[in-house]
Amino acid sequence: MVPLGESKTRKIKMIENYYKDKFGVISQIEIDQKTKYDEAYIAKRYRNYPQKCREMAHLRLGYIIGAIGAVPSSIMDIGYGSGEFLDVAKNIIPKCFGNDITGIKPPAGVEYIEDFTSIGVSVVTFFDVLEHFENPVETIKGLHCQYVAISVPHCHYYNDDWFRNWKHRRPNEHLHHFNEVSLSAMMNECGFVTLLQTNIEDTIRKDQPQNILTMVFERE
């Protein structure tokens, strides 16, 4: 079993193998089998829903532009998956970069970045990605950008039974779970303040009320 990087900071024990840290982020304590992120994973999560992915790409791009009040000069999408967002963004944003653990090539006109801490950009995005990182705090602290846009499953944790049966609690895949308070607190620790918070993606992803939390942050 592999202990997560944040396990040493656990404060409040939740259900078995979970804890709540000082920010209120709920995290898995140990990983017993790492998820394999490859073309098959991307196909299952994204390629089977091309229309929804395209709609989501336009929604996310508009949300970012509205949040920061301008078209950014550059953007980097971390964990770009099928690449739909970058394929849309490249039509209006001059410099587009991408990073993805699968190694799948990004869309034409987008530069692949092996080390996303190696360059500076205006905006960095984590769409359905941050919950997969073993140490999200160190990941965010390593960025060189003015804005960060994040979408994650919205964890309400009404009670233990709700959390055990929650569709987004995917052990060894979704390692961390956020709500608007805990995500803001974690980002504040990393030097970012909240610009905007909504459940705008629920207009497309209608599984349940307040299903996906989307937030944009600006560097202090």
Burial 108-140 (b: 16+ CB within 10 A, else e): eebeebeebeeeebbbbbbbbbbbbbbebbebb
Rounded to the nearest integer, the mean pLDDT of the chain is: 92
pLDDT at 51: 86
Task: Give yes or no for a contact between 190 and 42, defined as CB atoms under 8 angstroms apart.
Answer: no
pLDDT at 209: 85
From the list 181, 194, 158, 193, the residue with the least C-alpha distance to 23 is 181
Pull the structure tokens for residue 23. Answer: 């920010």
| Alpha helices, H only, the chain | 39-42, 50-68, 84-89, 136-141, 160-165, 180-189
Looking at residue 163, its amino acid is F
Nearest to 17 by CA among 197, 201, 163, 141: 163
Between strands 176-177 and 111-112, the pairing is unpaired
pLDDT in tens, 107-164: 999 999 999 999 999 999 999 999 999 999 999 999 999 999 999 999 999 999 999 9
* pLDDT per position as a tens digit, 138-151: 999 999 999 999 99
Given this model, what pLDDT does residue 4 score?
Answer: 56
Does residue 18 have a pLDDT over 50? yes
Would the pLDDT of 8 be above 60? no
Q: Is 75 exposed, middle or buried (0-12, 13-18, 19+ CB in 10 A)?
A: buried
Q: Which of 52-66, 177-191, 197-211 has the lowest mean pLDDT?
A: 197-211
The percentage of residues in the chain with a pLDDT greater than 90, rounded to a whole number, is: 82
